[in-house]
Structure 1
Amino acid sequence: MKLKMKNINKIYWVCLCLITLSACHKAELAIISAPVRLVSNGITSDTLKGAVRGTMLAGKTYYFKTDITVNEGDTLQMQEGVKLIAIGDGKTYQTAPEIIMHGTFISLGTKEKPNYITVQNADTYHTEALAQNYTDVFKGWWGGIVCWPDPSSKNPAPGGDLIIKWTHLELAGGPASGNETGVYASGDPRYIIYFGNITKKFILEDSWVFGAKDDAIRVSGGKISIMRNTFELCGQLGGEFFNMKSGTVGDLAYNFFIGAATNALKASDAGSSGTQTNVAMYNNTMVNCGFRQTKSGRGGSINFEKAARGMVYNNLIANCRFGLRLTSDADLTNIKYNNQYFYGSTQKIVDLFQAADGVSTFQSADIHSTTPKENDPTFYGYDLTAFDYTANPGPMTVSVQTPAAVLVGTSNFRLKAGSKGVNAGNVNFSPIASVTATGDYGTTITLPGKDIGAYQSDGTGNQH
């Protein structure tokens, strides 16, 4: 009997321990730790050159004076608060260094600690621009970032991703060498970003793009998600803020554009990649675009041409030289558009809300007028009548344009409560969402908004 009691006691203590361990295990499962972002190959030298890979460490400043290359399969990453400074003078391709990206590039700035990819004394160029001296803005001090497959690659899907968040991208455009076959001809001004990896993803979120000599960004194939960015003063005599060629698929939404030489957004299927250009442009705001383009009939806001397809909804187009332009050779059957808000301070701008050489027409939910200065969207802090477009209808040189016509400065482009753009948006469509990844290295797609333009009355949309 004594032996049996011992066995019972043992069983009791074993059961008690198992119950306790089970409870502890359940408690552990209920505690979910934030993932640790691993640092791969932290870069400790402040100078980059040749073939590079690894991580630029938070808060540090790095420099490059000659071209740097990220090879296929490698990754170059910037943690938050990093400055990457190009040292160049823009006179030749040798003295305008570029970042050659055959692999993956990631810049993860934050709202509190944004990253910079820029040049020395960049603040000076912003200041000079405010003083209406734009000479240095268009010198093309460095060569930009060129993302394209290594020509010698045997990989059936070569190239890498480009992921940029909360990052300032500035002042590129130096002359090309011509070595990037199919990208630039010798002497061409280079873009701040060229992306041509058709099977890869290009994410640009919550960032600032300033001071390109020609196109700010050109995409020749790729899955894109371009969300909540600010574009200012790009293109000296021509060039788009965002120019898309064959094989570009995805979304551009909640971006703010001011002072483009030509269009804010252009989509074309030129290039014969085998994948049709298909982009959704929604809830963007564009102001004072198109006035520096010298070629007749070009330059304005949104342009679809050469078999491109997509959607165009909820865009605010204010004082752009031309409004919506859909050419007869675009894939008109597969372009859906409505709910645009057009404003013009002169009769000439009003008369070209629909571009004269295009075939688009006003749609049922568009806001437009035949009278200048009617339907003012009522921005919180910006006067659309400040620049005299009657005296200066374009084309014009940048020296004629006041800083307020091409720069955000201290202006506020949110809509006042009584604006006709509030509750005038279409929310009954879905983004293309070609980029499906989420998280630190994925995209955050803001869905179509009930208010027209990049800024929503509920605080969503563009966060700048």
Structure 2
Amino acid sequence: MKSLNKIFFACLASLALSACHKAELAIISPPLHQVSNGITSDTLKGAVKGTMLSGKTYYFKSDITVNEGDTLQMEAGVKLIAIGDGKTYQTAPEIIMHGTFISLGTKEKPNYITVQNADTYHTEAAAQNYANVFKGWWGGIVCWPDPSSKSTTPGGDLIIKWTHLEFAGGPASGNESGVYGSGDPRYIIYFGNITRNFILEDSWVFGAKDDAIRVAGGKISVMRNTFELCGQSGGEFFNMKSGTVGDLAYNFMIGAATNALKASDAGSSGTQTNVNMYNNTMVNCGFRQTKSGRGGSINFEKAARGTVYNNIIANCRFGLRLTADADLTNIKYNNQYYYGSTQKIVDLFNAADGVSTFQSADIHSTTPKDNDPAFYGYDLTAFDYTANPGPMTVSLQTPAAVMVGTSNFRLKSSSKGLNAGKTDFTPMHAVTTTGTYGTDITPPGKDAGAYQNDFSGNQH
């Protein structure tokens, strides 16, 4: 009996330990990317990896590099400050990404990747002369595989959530593996890795000298962001080249120099550019582009394909532009909401050098100021686009024409944009990872534009 009792109690103990172990395993979900210990120094330089700790401010004065296989992560409430003057590439430091970069800001504790005294530049008072907006203080984040890598899937992911990205554009050295020519203004983000993921969610992008973001290959998910005042005399908010695949939705965009969104298959990636653009709101874009026939809202060219639904295009210099060399057979578009306060804008709801036409569910008119989308707190007639039809310098534009400020771009109950959206299509889901280190893709909405009447969509 004593032997049996010992066996019985041993079994009970074993079962109890097993149950506890299973319970622990049930609640443990290891992160997609393991990061190293917290970074305690407030200055980053050279090759870096690890975790920038919540609530702390970090600085970098020279280029920093994340090597292949390494991860640099920002916890919530972190500020990363670039110290530079933008005069040369040596004094406009950049972040070189051969590994993975993760910024996990939150709504309550957003992150910042910016410059010193940025808060004094991003105000209506400062923007009256825009003296500091296009200085190009630092070199941005450049993500591409290490040329010396022997990996079959080199490089890393770029995951940015609830983060302010500001004031890049410093001149390039010309040594960035063909990304830039010598002296070219750099972008806030350049991502060029067809095998990897680029996630940008709920973030703010402001004050780039040229393109704010350029993707030359990669799986993208760009959801619920706000883009303001980028491009001094040219440049897009989001410019996509060959090999870019994924979804862009619920982004609010105001004051781009050229297009808000541009898709092209230029390049030689071997994977066709294929992007869905739905439920975005674009206001006052395209008026600083100095080259004729360019600049507006959404542009598909050079064999790019995708879908274009449920977008509000208000007072943009040109509306939808599909060029004859785009993959027109595989581009689907409808349910756009157009508004123009002048006859010239109205006449170019379909760009003159493009082949797009109005579709069955588009909202449009031939009369200026007709079909006002009824933004809750913004006057689309405040800026005189008859006197200033473009191209124009930024000094002629008021802050309200290029920045959100205190405006509110949700739709009033009287708006024709309510229930004007198409919902019977599915996002591409090129980025398949979800959760903290993955994407949160918002499906197509029943209302036009970035803000939904049920308070889904853009959360800014």
State the TM-score, normalized to the length of structure 2: 0.95
1:50-92: CA deviation from partner (whole Å, max 9, x where unpaired): 1111111111110000001111111111111111000000000
AA aligned to 1:92 is T
Q: Matches of 1:453 and 1:25 in 2, distance apart?
A: 52
What is residue 401 of structure 2 aligned with on the other side?
405
Deviations 1:269-289 (A, max 9, x none): 001211100000000000000
1:284 partnered with 2:280: yes
- Partner residue of 1:380? 376
Contact 2:121 2:127 in 1 (8 A): no
Matched, 1:111 2:107: yes
Q: Which of 149, 156, 178 in structure 2 is aligned with 1:153? A: 149
- Distance of 1:435 and 1:129 partners within structure 2: 40
Q: What corresponds to 2:290 in structure 1?
A: 294
Find out whether 1:242 has 2:238 as its counterpart.
Answer: yes
Q: How does 1:76-87 map to 2 (within 5 A)?
A: 76-87=72-83
Q: CA deviation at 1:15?
A: 7.1
Partners of 2:221 and 2:41 in 1: how far apart?
33
Counterpart selection for 2:86 from 69, 90, 112: 90
Q: In the alignment, what sits opposite 2:227?
A: 231
Aligned to 1:337: 333
Tell me what 1:274 maps to.
Answer: 270
Task: Report runs of 4+ in structure 1 exceeding 3 Å deviation.
Answer: 9-39, 128-131
Instruction: Report if the CA contact (8 A) 1:128-1:134 is conserved.
Output: no
Q: 1:210 to 1:129 in 2, by over 3 A?
A: farther
Aligned counterparts, 1:349-364, within 5 A: 349-364=345-360
Post-superposition Cα deviations, 1:358-405, rounded to whole Å, max 9, x if no partner, equal 000000000000001110110111111110111111111101100000
Which residue number in structure 1 is paired with residue 319 of structure 2?
323
1:114-125, aligned counterparts within 5 Å?
Answer: 114-125=110-121
Displacement, 1:444?
0.6
Deviation at 1:181, TM superposition (A): 2.6
Instruction: Say if 2:213 and 2:239, in contact at 8 Å, map to a contact too.
Output: yes
- Residue deviations 1:325-352 (CA, integer Å, cap 9, x gap): 0000000000000000000011110000
Within the candidate set 433, 440, 446, 2:442 is matched to: 446
1:368 aligns with 2:364: yes
Find 1:430's aligned residue among 426, 431, 454: 426
CA positional deviation for 1:156:
2.5
Identify the residue that residue 3 of structure 1 maps to in structure 2. Answer: none
Structure 2, unmatched stretches of 5+, are none
In structure 1, what residue type is equivalent to 2:318?
Answer: F
Q: Helix, strand or coil for the counterpart of 1:138?
A: coil
Secondary structure of the residue that 1:137 maps to in structure 2? coil
Whole-angstrom CA distance in 1 between matches of 2:8 and 2:150? 61
Structure 1 residue aligned with 2:48, among 48, 52, 59? 52
Query: Structure 1 regions of 5+ residues with no counterpart?
Result: 1-6
- Show the counterpart of 1:169: 165
In structure 2, how many angstroms separate the alpha carbons of the residues matched to 1:205 and 1:380?
A: 24
C-alpha distance in structure 2 between counterparts of 1:186 and 1:311, whole Å: 36
1:157 deviation in Å?
A: 2.4
How big is the shift at 1:446?
0.4
One-letter amino acid matched to 1:143: G
Q: Is the 8 A contact 2:155 2:196 kept in 1?
A: yes
Change (3 A) 1:28 1:183: closer
Q: Secondary structure at the match of 1:224?
A: strand
Matched-pair identity in %: 83
Distance 2:205 2:23 in 1: 43
Partners of 1:40 and 1:154 in 2: CA distance: 23
Distance of 1:67 and 1:209 partners within structure 2: 21
The question of whether the paired residues in 2 share the 8 Å contact of 1:283 and 1:314 is answered with yes
8 Å Cα contact 1:130/1:403 also seen in 2: no
Structure 1 residue 448: Cα displacement: 0.5
Deviation string, structure 1 residues 437-462 (Cα, Å, up to 9, x no partner): 01111111000011110011111100
d(CA) in 2 for partners of 1:142 and 1:149?
A: 21
CA contact (8 A) 2:376 2:410 kept: yes
- Is 1:187 aligned with 2:183? yes
Inter-partner Cα distance in structure 2 for 1:351 and 1:397: 23
Q: How far apart, in 2, do the equivalents of 1:101 and 1:10 lie?
A: 64
Whether the 8 Å contact between 1:102 and 1:149 is mirrored in structure 2 is yes
Deviation at 1:39, TM superposition (A): 5.3
Provide the rounded CA distance (Å) in 2 between the counterparts of 1:128 and 1:69.
Answer: 35
Farther off after superposition, 10-19 or 126-135: 10-19
Shift of 1:151: 1.6
User: What secondary structure sits across from 1:136 in the alignment?
Assistant: coil
Q: Tell me if structure 2 keeps the 8 A contact 1:129–1:137.
A: no
Amino acid at match of 1:260: A
- Aligned CA-pair RMSD: 2.0
Give yes or no for the alignment of 1:457 onto 2:453.
yes
Q: What is the CA distance between 1:19 and its match in structure 2?
A: 7.8
State the alpha-carbon separation in 2 of the partners of residues 64 and 141 from structure 1. Answer: 12
Which range is displaced more, 349-358 or 119-128? 119-128
SS in 1 for 2:148: coil
What are the residue-to-residue correspondences of 1:6-45 with 2, within 5 Å? 33=27, 35=29, 40-45=36-41
Paired position in structure 1 for 2:249: 253
Rounded Cα–Cα distance in structure 2 between residues aligned with 1:420 and 1:155: 52
Query: CA separation in 1, counterparts of 2:229 and 2:270?
Result: 33
Measure the CA separation in 2 of the matches of 1:173 and 1:323. Answer: 27
Deviates most, 377-386 or 15-24: 15-24
Conserved? CA contact 2:86–2:138, under 8 Å: yes
| Distance across 1 between alignment mates of 2:82 and 2:429 | 33
SS in 1 for 2:133: helix
